[in-house]
Amino acid sequence: MITIQNNKLKATFNELGAELTSLINLETGKEIMWEGNPDFWGGQSPVLFPTVGALKNEQYIFEGKTYELPRHGFARRRVFDIKNSSENEVIFELKSDGESLKIYPFEFSLEIKYTLVENKLTVSYQVKNLSENEMYFSLGAHPGFAIDTKNGLNYNDYEIAFSNDEKLEIHPLIDNLISNETQTIELENKTLHLSYETFAKDALVMTTMKSRELILRNHKNTDKVIFTFSNFPYFGIWAAKNADFVCLEPWQGIADLENHNQELTKKFGILKLEKNGDWKANWAVEIE
């Protein structure tokens, strides 16, 4: 485990997946991240790369050849190198190798940088195309934030405030694939009130959400998490059944559409990088 901290926050990471496993508010001692209880969901903040969500039949086609990839790609199951670290910042790197090329035929570098400044953790991603030709990929974040159901509180006391949305257009999931149909969730004063039933039909998947700032808060006290992101056009909100967390997930890419022909270059939301090209995005969580 790798740890960085300042006088406000302490963050811990696992080299497996370069995953954020703990974020502690040092002023209150409160843990911000989901505990990773495998009875509900063993993840905490996996990186989704080089695909987000499920592929139809866990397969894709590129240049006439069929490849297999698990849901959310393989990066979360790979050990990252530590490229650089200091007291309040760490940079992890994953590069393509012989094993990755068997299932994903592109040479790449993926860097994830975690930086603490005051009461904010910023997570920055950089993908570089090291191949001789164009590279196709998606990337998503999947951080799970703890919901306090102790001390007289319950899940229904929490809500998510959106900076720029009056309603949410949701793409339902059908066998982990994205429906072409949409459903509308009307918000109350740009706010989604949480309950265990919110995720009874799986994640809320959005491709047209306007907000780039969300606030997870408890209306019974002053607990607040401010979540911001940049260069991620899509978003998911999810929790496992009856589990005390909620995931706020900015994505570049989504699961396959239910009618997708499995061609990687035609996949909705896929990014194309030219030779020597790079792509950057970030999200941040501020604790109040």
pLDDT, one tens digit per residue, over 93-121 is 999 999 999 999 999 999 999 999 999 99
CB 204 within 8 A of CB 195: no
| The predicted structure's pLDDT at residue 10 | 98
Say whether pLDDT at 76 is over 90: yes
Cβ-count burial 228-260 (b if 16+ within 10 Å, e if not): bbeebebbbbbbbeebbbbbbbbbbbbbbbbeb
Exposure string over 48-81, b if 16+ CB within 10 A, otherwise e:
bbbbbbbbbeeebeeeeeebebeebbbbbebebe
- Mean per-residue pLDDT of the chain: 96
pLDDT of residue 249: 98
pLDDT digits (tens, 9 = 90+) for 171-223: 999 989 999 899 999 999 999 999 999 999 899 999 999 999 999 999 888 78
CA distances from 280 to 55, 112, 271 (A): 24, 10, 12
pLDDT of residue 37: 95
Spatial distance between the Cα atoms of 13 and 190, rounded to a whole number of angstroms? 33
8 within 8 A of 270, measured Cβ to Cβ: no
Q: Give the per-residue pLDDT at 62.
A: 97
Mean per-residue pLDDT, 123-132: 97
Question: Does residue 288 carry a pLDDT above 90?
Answer: no
Q: What's the whole-model pTM score?
A: 0.95
All domains in the chain, ordered by first residue: 2-287 (2.70.98.10)
Q: Of 38 and 223, which is predicted with more confidence?
A: 38
Give the pLDDT confidence score for residue 15 in this predicted structure.
97
By percentage, how much of the chain surpasses pLDDT 70? 100
Average pLDDT over residues 82-102: 97
pLDDT at 153 over 90: no
What is the per-residue pLDDT for 34? Answer: 97
